[in-house]
């Protein structure tokens, strides 16, 4: 499509505008929409596109209130639309209020910055300038008062009211309000530091700070490492009873059944389990590969690369690593330009040769169990396997920084059954795999791309309500991994993230429970 040919792709969380969808998306829509009119050949647009993508990721939770869109005015088929909106220079950004009229040309929106936070604040200013009708999904953004709070639980059926005390110039309260708009059982309001009654009543001395008010009348300070937007949003989304709207209520862990008659296996949520890794190998080698009766050409190269990194780095039990080594040796010895899956399967299953060589049959998911059979499992295991392999390669002092990631890319490209996943992953690899130049950067690359995927999938139908997609690891899991820049923007502290990953995925921390 034209959108694909332009500066953005389907994975960018932006609505691609075209003559076909411009009306339904911009006119009389229930959400406000920010639109970038660009030309794919324009240097400023090219320079701005990563900023716009970052903005889209940053405010993806705000979509029901304000969505982001883009249209390539250089594409022949889009010219009429761009002319109709009076676009003469690129990029031009326009803000369309919710319920914009058919003749609306949008309001001008200053984009003269590459700072995501400045753009985000301008979006809030625009939202606040909304005349009636207000976008229905957008919660109130104005400061609250003692009177509203006193009667809050009479009119609002939520468990928690989060009050963010802040100075009038701060945007944090409004940002967190919007970050939580797709979550049930929690409401967020900002309270200005000048609201003396409440400030005195609670003894608030720090601005910003966040207090939870419950229906029982109790106020408690929300505990966070740093008083900043990202920390409030993480903490509020994780409160008991808070969940994404429209999701079935999660069943308490322990009583969850996975509907396959198998009893739920209790597990430690902050550990990696060998049972998941072995199940992933089983599924990949015996189920996914079996779909290819003959493996040749690029697929055969992919298979060789994959099995070679498994043989080198899989930190398994001796029976399993022996098997991977013989499989690898066999594959390297095949001189023809194709192999049959059946021949490979014989090596996999022929344990008679050597009784110390075997890949256990069947799937035994533990940390990758899903609350329903269609949740988690194999893709969860695939991610875990590759995180483990990048970490092992670094521990083992591998020589090629891209070895594991290239093998993953090839495997996913040639064999991963989720074809949409494979396409998305290929886009990311194409975009930035070249940046990987050390074994450490390989570990971090996979972590940050996985978070990119988590960001895109948060709230998707495929998300297990018991395992919400968050930017990982949460501050609870790794406090040191999170920090803020001078301007209060969230920043990953990479010098802390790397050792966290090295330890989390290291062979010595992998648990052997639930192996047969
Ligand atoms: P997963 O995302 O599978 O993560 C598994 C475990 O890894 C988590 O439980 C957590 O312990 C840990 N973890 C989470 N984030 C990180 C991180 N950043 N770094 C290190 N460890 C982390 N699904 C789609 O719908 N669309 C797609 O485009 C898509 N692309 C995919 C591409 C690949 C290469 C893979 C392997 C999977 C893809 N999936 C896609 C599936 C999706 O990413 C999840 O795997 C699936 O929804 C199951 O989610 P989960 O809750 O088990 O967590």
Q: Which atom of ligand 1 is nearest to the CA of 420?
A: 28
CB of residue 409 inside a 6 A radius of ligand 1: no
Residue 457: CB atoms within 10 Å = 14
**What tokens were used for 237?**
């989304």
CB of residue 462 inside a 6 A radius of ligand 1: yes
Catalytic residues: 42, 45
> Which residue's alpha carbon is at the smallest distance from atom 31 of ligand 1?
421
CB of residue 267 inside a 6 A radius of ligand 1: no
Residue 140: CB atoms within 10 Å = 14
> Which residue's alpha carbon is at the smallest distance from atom 43 of ligand 1?
453
The stretches of 334-465 forming alpha helices (DSSP H) are 341-349, 378-395, 403-414, 419-432, 439-457
- What is the value of pTM for the model shown? 0.93
In this structure, the strands spanning 243-244 and 183-184 are antiparallel
**What tokens were used for 244?**
């994404």
Residue 383: CB atoms within 10 Å = 17
By most ligand atoms within 8 Å of CB, the mutation choice from 272, 380, 382 for ligand 1 is: 380
> Which residue's alpha carbon is at the smallest distance from atom 34 of ligand 1?
425
Q: Which atom of ligand 1 is nearest to the CA of 379?
A: 45
The tens-digit pLDDT sequence of the chain (516 residues) is 434 558 998 888 899 999 999 999 999 999 999 999 999 999 999 999 999 999 999 999 999 999 999 999 999 999 999 999 999 999 999 999 999 999 999 999 998 899 999 999 999 999 999 877 899 999 999 999 999 998 999 988 899 999 999 999 999 999 999 999 999 999 999 999 999 999 999 999 999 999 999 888 889 999 999 999 999 999 999 999 999 988 777 665 555 555 556 789 999 999 999 999 999 999 999 999 999 999 999 999 999 999 999 999 999 999 999 999 999 999 999 999 999 999 999 999 876 667 778 899 999 999 999 998 889 999 999 999 999 999 999 999 989 999 999 999 999 999 999 999 999 999 999 999 999 999 999 999 999 999 999 999 998 888 998 999 999 999 999 999 999 999 999 999 999 999 999 999 999 999 999 997
Peptide bond into 93 cis (omega under 30): no
The rounded Å distance from CA 210 to ligand 1 centre is 31
Number of residues written out for the chain: 516
CB of residue 312 inside a 6 A radius of ligand 1: no
CB of residue 451 inside a 6 A radius of ligand 1: yes
> Which residue's alpha carbon is at the smallest distance from atom 22 of ligand 1?
472
CB of residue 461 inside a 6 A radius of ligand 1: no
Give the ipTM of the model, two decimals please.
Answer: 0.99
């Amino acid at each position: 499509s034209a959108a694909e040919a332009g500066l953005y792709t389907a994975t960018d969380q932006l609505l691609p505008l075209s003559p076909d969808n411009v009306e339904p998306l911009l006119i009389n829509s229930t959400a406000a929409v920010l639109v970038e009119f660009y030309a794919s050949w324009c240097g400023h647009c090219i320079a701005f596109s990563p900023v716009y993508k970052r903005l889209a990721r940053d405010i993806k939770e705000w979509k029901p209130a304000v969505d982001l869109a883009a249209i390539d005015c250089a594409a022949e088929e889009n010219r009429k639309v761009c002319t109709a909106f009076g676009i003469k220079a690129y990029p031009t950004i326009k803000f369309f209020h919710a319920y914009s009229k058919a003749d609306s040309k949008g309001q001008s929106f200053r984009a003269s910055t590459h700072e995501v936070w400045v753009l985000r604040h301008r979006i809030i200013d625009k939202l606040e300038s909304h005349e009636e009708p207000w976008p229905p999904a957008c919660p109130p953004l104005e400061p609250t008062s003692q009177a509203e709070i006193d009667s809050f639980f009479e009119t609002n059926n939520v468990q928690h009211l989060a009050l963010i005390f802040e100075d009038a110039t701060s945007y944090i309260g409004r940002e967190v309000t919007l970050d939580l708009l797709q979550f049930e059982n929690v409401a967020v309001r900002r309270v200005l530091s000048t609201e003396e009654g409440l400030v005195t009543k609670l003894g608030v001395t720090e601005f910003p700070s966040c207090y939870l008010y419950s229906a029982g009348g109790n106020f408690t300070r929300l505990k966070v490492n740093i008083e900043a937007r990202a920390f409030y949003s993480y903490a509020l989304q994780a409160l008991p009873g808070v969940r994404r709207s429209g999701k079935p209520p999660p069943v308490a862990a322990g009583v969850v059944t996975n509907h396959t008659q198998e009893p739920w296996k209790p597990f430690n949520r902050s550990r990696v389990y060998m049972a998941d890794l072995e199940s992933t190998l089983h599924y990949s080698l015996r189920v996914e590969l079996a779909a290819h009766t003959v493996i040749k050409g690029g697929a055969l190269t992919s298979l060789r690369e994959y099995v070679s990194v498994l043989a080198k780095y899989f930190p398994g039990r001796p029976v399993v690593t022996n098997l991977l080594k013989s499989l690898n040796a066999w594959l390297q010895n095949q001189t023809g330009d194709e192999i049959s899956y059946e021949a490979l399967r014989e090596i996999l299953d022929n344990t008679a040769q050597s009784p110390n060589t075997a890949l256990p049959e069947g799937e035994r998911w533990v940390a990758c169990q899903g609350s329903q059979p269609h949740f988690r499992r194999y893709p969860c295991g695939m991610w875990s396997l590759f995180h483990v392999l990048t970490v092992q390669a670094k521990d083992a002092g591998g020589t090629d920084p891209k070895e594991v990631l290239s093998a993953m890319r090839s495997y996913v490209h040639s064999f991963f059954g989720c074809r949409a996943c494979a396409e998305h992953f290929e886009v990311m690899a194409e975009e930035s795999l070249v940046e990987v130049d050390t074994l450490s950067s390989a570990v971090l690359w996979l972590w940050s791309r996985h978070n990119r995927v988590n960001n895109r999938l948060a709230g998707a139908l495929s998300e297990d309500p018991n395992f919400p997609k968050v930017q990982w690891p949460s501050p609870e899991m790794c406090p040191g991994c999170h920090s803020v820049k001078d301007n209060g923007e969230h920043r990953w502290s990479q010098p802390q993230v790397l050792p966290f990953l090295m330890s989390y995925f290291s062979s010595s921390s992998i648990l052997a429970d639930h192996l047969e």
